[in-house]
Amino acid sequence: MSHNIAQILSKLGVQNINTGASTGQEWIETSGKKIGSFSPVNGNLIAEVNMAETADYESVLTEAQNAFVIWRKTPAPQRGEIVRKFGEELREYKQELGTLVSYEMGKSLQEGLGEVQEMIDICDFAVGLSRQLYGLTMHSERPAHRMYEQWHPLGIVGIISAFNFPVAVWAWNTALAWVCGDVCVWKPSEKAPLSGVACQKIITRVLERNNLPEGISSLIIGDAEIGKKMTNDTRVALISATGSTRMGKSVGEAVGKRLGKAILELGGNNAIIISEHADLDLVIPGVVFGAVGTAGQRCTSTRRLIIHESIFETMKEKLTKAYAQLRIGDPLDENNHVGPLIDKDAVAMYEQAIQKVHASGGKTIIEGEVLTGAGYESGCYVKPAIYEVENEYEIVCNETFAPILYLIKYSTIEDAIAKQNAVPQGLSSAIMTTNIRESELFLSVAGSDCGIANVNIGTSGAEIGGAFGGEKETGGGRESGSDAWKAYMRRQTNTINYSTELPLAQGIKFDLG
């Protein structure tokens, strides 16, 4: 095993793996079929994990239910203290966990370390939040009455995460859910199971040292069938699912049928509008990182550049020059900018998208190709591509999880905004301009229809302090900062009568004589 991964796994406590489920402290000896975690870096098998079966799932859910009865009674600041300790453990293992994420998923080492830093940041956010789970006090229309609202934990939160952020999105959910008094059951991506096992090992140590019940944090590795069990299970109060729009529609339908709650973080088809008033020194690094970071496998990756016609040719030249400087290869080598796609299925989708661009009449600026030869033995490395297209092409309206960038001309700012909004997805968006009228229009009600709208930064790289999520086929959910915590709790309105009479609201009289 290369890259000292064996040593890293040992330090993280991920060794002799044959289990795919944990109820907190206890690891269940599962007997389901094995899935192998293959690194897209070199194609090597890292380890195999047994998937959980129905009996294992039931054990996990039972322990989670039992833990919730205890955890919900723990004062929120004390719950926050456990999250703080979890954040300290993440600081200690940041290098190892970030390296594992990079090797198992294929993102650059800096992005892997950045993902763990996101986990640390959301823990810090949640610790402060644990003393701010506030409700409002309202004036009652009835004399000698008091009205207020309070927030209570939901119960079990089921988390279904995707391969592209194999650990951070779980932490976004768990850190908030835990301080809110919920317990969590996590199904990590079967394409990155070891990162999930490593995180569970870390939180397990925190739970053990603090004599906390099993089931506050549970892990269950499985395929789509386990995901279906979770989404249809009335014991799971909230499902937070990250993935494709197709998957999200299925989850939303299942959860909606049982009147459960869902947070859906689905596809993105993100655009940057490049105004003729843009500072091009800012534009190029923002665009290139947004388009090729994580090999284009972020939900916030930049897919479309909507460029003013007066600077269209200039932008093409600058992008061509910038792309010529990209180094593609082993993501653990910090000299490289672009690592591999997650697997050969992703490579096939990349190739199919390029074929559709050509069939639609797109013009090649930088042609895509699958890279072969020394250093590319896994078959998962591709060349970032750029094409000049029309916004209406079917392939442009769909999300391809790969480093393909589309360039589109516009003439007026209203035209640019209309083009940006004319796709089914609505996650992240940006405008590059020094014109305050354009930036304010972009952020106005007549502007971007996305959940995230930026000015003079790219579409990728959100901070945890803001609520993260999108509109339309992106799902409409919100995670991370701001008041996203409310999704993990139930609101209760309370009215207290401290008078000696029983007046009714709206002045209704009900006299029994």
pLDDT digits (tens, 9 = 90+) for 193-209: 999 999 999 999 999 99
**Residue 187: how many CA atoms within 13 Å on its side-chain side?**
27
CA distances from 445 to 441, 453, 476 (A): 8, 12, 17
pLDDT of amino acid 28: 81
Of residues 18 and 310, more confidently modeled: 310
Active-site residue set:
265, 299
Nearest to 220 by CA among 159, 156, 155, 153: 159
pLDDT of amino acid 282: 92
- pLDDT at position 16 over 90: no
pLDDT of amino acid 15: 74
Backbone angles phi and psi of 118, in degrees to 5: -60, -40
Query: What is the average per-residue pLDDT within 113-139?
Result: 97
Instruction: Confirm if 157 and 184 have CB atoms less than 8 A apart.
Output: yes
Residue 381 and residue 344: Cα distance in Å, rounded? 9
Q: Is the dihedral of CA 108, 114, 116, 118 positive or negative?
A: negative
Share of the chain above pLDDT 70, in %: 98
If pLDDT is split at 50, 70 and 90, which confidence band does 340 have? very high
CA distances from 146 to 137, 477, 496, 498 (A): 8, 33, 5, 8
pLDDT of amino acid 513: 67
User: β-strands 452-455, 428-432: how paired?
Assistant: parallel
What's the whole-model pTM score?
0.96
Residue 115 and residue 166: Cα distance in Å, rounded? 9
Residue 15 and residue 263: Cα distance in Å, rounded? 33
pLDDT of amino acid 462: 85
Residues 6+ apart with CB under 8 A from 346: 297, 380, 401, 402
Per-residue pLDDT tens over the stretch 61-108:
999 999 999 999 999 999 999 999 999 999 999 999 999 999 999 999
Of residues 16 and 411, more confidently modeled: 411
Query: What is the average per-residue pLDDT within 483-499?
Result: 98
pLDDT of amino acid 1: 38
Share of the chain above pLDDT 90, in %: 90
Query: What is the average per-residue pLDDT within 142-171?
Result: 97
CA 218 to chain centre: 19
Instruction: Please report the DSSP string for 461-510 in residue order.
Output: ---TTSEE--EETT-S--EESTTGGGGGEEEEEEEEE-SSS-PPGGG---
- pLDDT at position 22 over 90: no
- pLDDT at position 139 over 90: yes
Of residues 27 and 453, more confidently modeled: 453
pLDDT of amino acid 417: 98
The tokens for 465 are 């302090």
pLDDT of amino acid 21: 85
Residues 6+ apart with CB under 8 A from 355: none
3-state secondary structure of 441: helix
Strand partners of residue 38: 45
If pLDDT is split at 50, 70 and 90, which confidence band does 18 have? low
CA distances from 39 to 7, 12, 44, 57, 329 (A): 16, 18, 6, 27, 13
